[in-house]
Structure 1
Amino acid sequence: MSNLGEFDPDFYQSNYTIDNQEQSCNDSDAYGNVYGARIPQANEQPQFAFVPPEMLTSSELGINFDHIWQKTLTVLNPLKPADGSIMNATDLAGPILFCVALGATLLLAGKVQFGYVYGLSAIGCLGIYALLNLMSSSQVSYGCVASVLGYCLLPMVILSSCAVFFSLQGTTGTVCALVIIGWCSFSASKIFISALDMEGQQLLIAYPCALLYGLFALLTVF
């Protein structure tokens, strides 16, 4: 037993100190930097990447709200000169919104006409597209034609909103419908001649546009 008592202090005695622990931690950090990313410590603050403000604009989504606003103002003010560079941009966000608004206001007036609105829009855009390509020396895309005709549908939405509150089947309603048709066709023809450099041909373009918007007026009045 005396031999075991003498052996115990020697057995538990060790040269491993706190300095060795710190050195081993530093070695592990070094190995972590070599073989992979080091696990962040608790007292380290996370670093966030800076994102430029221009990358957060609506253009990343394909929607330019400035163009939508400029086109809407051009339609609402027929006497305002049209900017051809803006109108050449194919933008279908506004036209889709106005088509849905037209169908919704007709629905509030007790007329379920969504199919007619979409069908007339597609066929009318196809006809105006073919006509403009025959009349103009410069080619125009189908998306551009659909965009212009869709934005110029906004006055018709105003007419259908009035039909929610009172009937348009009368002299007053007929006069209002004719004014709205002239408004839509004049705005559309103004934009087309500005975008396609077709000066002196506005009446020739306004006539087929008036026929198209007349169909929408018939849906609204009757």
Structure 2
Amino acid sequence: MAKEFNVPPVVFPSGGNPGPTSATQRRPTAPFQPPRSSNTIPFVSFDVGSATSSTSAAPFPTLSSTTIASSTFDDEPPLLEELGINTKQIWSKTYSILNPFRVNPDLHEDGDLSGPFLFLIAFGLFQLLAGKIHFGIILGWVTVAAIYLYVVFNMLAGRNGSLDLYRCLSMIGYCMLPMVILSAISLFLPQGGVVIFALAALFVIWSTRVCTRLLIEVARWDEHRGLVGYACFLIYMLFSLLVIF
């Protein structure tokens, strides 16, 4: 027979909820939030909803990468122009050298060393492909040749000469273009043959004619053309010997 237990009656408070009275009841608070009381500092609490609404009402100005790049680099010149390298001028001077019968001396009034340096490096690279390391010899010979031709020309012209060393070096370097072409062709020809000698003579005459005309026209001195041409012939003959031997 089951035993009966006497259960005391449960009495609920007047609020209708079991537990402590409403006067002593504490409401749960959100995590990381200080309890709200009369001593709470007003500006310490942070309301996420109000911050979101204020941000959406007055958004911050945004700058795209295109705007920043355009505002930063629009006023700056190209890099080659800052370095003093004019590709259009180099191409115009090179094109004028390719035709020995129609050389334009006006293009060589303003000397530059970017084109000649490019031709000298190309000449050295073709010599390197042929198994000859001549970079130091090429740069040294060009420097000595420019000083030699500058002294000879000004001694012949006297006070009538108006050739400076910078333009002289520029014209000698640009007239090295036939030597560069000869160095490239010599890679496919046997060394010491009759063909390479004939081509070398042809390209030496080409460089000599162009360089002589440029010196005479740019310096505006038309006397002793043969002596100036002989000095140019000696310079380019030395470079052709590097290719042949």
Q: Would the TM-score normalized by the shorter structure come out above 0.5?
A: yes
The CA deviation string for residues 116-172 of structure 1, in whole angstroms up to 9 with x for no partner, is 212211111110011122233133221111110011101111111112122241222
Question: 2:156 aligned to 111, 132, 135, which one?
Answer: 135
Contact 1:149 1:188 in 2 (8 A): yes
CA distance in 1, matches of 2:191, 2:89: 33
Partner of 2:88: 66
Partner AA of 1:143 in structure 2: Y
Partner of 1:107: 128
Partner AA of 1:101 in structure 2: A
Partner of 1:181: 204
Query: How far does residue 13 in structure 1 lie from its aligned partner after superposition?
Result: 10
Partner of 2:244: 221
Q: What pairs with 1:60-99 in structure 2 (closer than 5 Å)? A: 60-84=82-106, 86-99=107-120
Q: What pairs with 1:165-180 in structure 2 (closer than 5 Å)? A: 165-180=188-203
The CA deviation string for residues 29-81 of structure 1, in whole angstroms up to 9 with x for no partner, is xxxxxxxxxxxx74433653265578237322211111111110111111113
Q: What pairs with 1:1-222 in structure 2 (closer than 5 Å)? A: 42-45=60-63, 48=68, 49=71, 51-52=73-74, 55-56=77-78, 58-84=80-106, 86-136=107-157, 137-199=160-222, 201-222=224-245
Contact 1:74 1:80 in 2 (8 A): yes
Partner AA of 2:102 in structure 1: K
Partner AA of 2:170 in structure 1: S
RMSD: 3.2
Larger RCO (CA within 8 A; separation ≥ 6)? 1
> Any idea what SS the aligned residue of 1:55 has?
coil
CA distance in 2, matches of 1:45, 1:60: 29
The CA deviation string for residues 96-123 of structure 1, in whole angstroms up to 9 with x for no partner, is 1111111111111122222221221111
CA distance in 1, matches of 2:156, 2:78: 41
> Which protein is bigger by CA-based radius of gyration?
2
Contact 1:75 1:154 in 2 (8 A): yes
Contact 1:82 1:194 in 2 (8 A): no
Higher helix residue share: 1
TM (norm. structure 2) is: 0.69
Partner AA of 1:197 in structure 2: R
Percent identity for Structure 1 against Structure 2: 30
> Any idea what SS the aligned residue of 1:79 has?
coil
Partner AA of 2:80 in structure 1: S
Distance 1:13 1:96, change over 3 A: closer
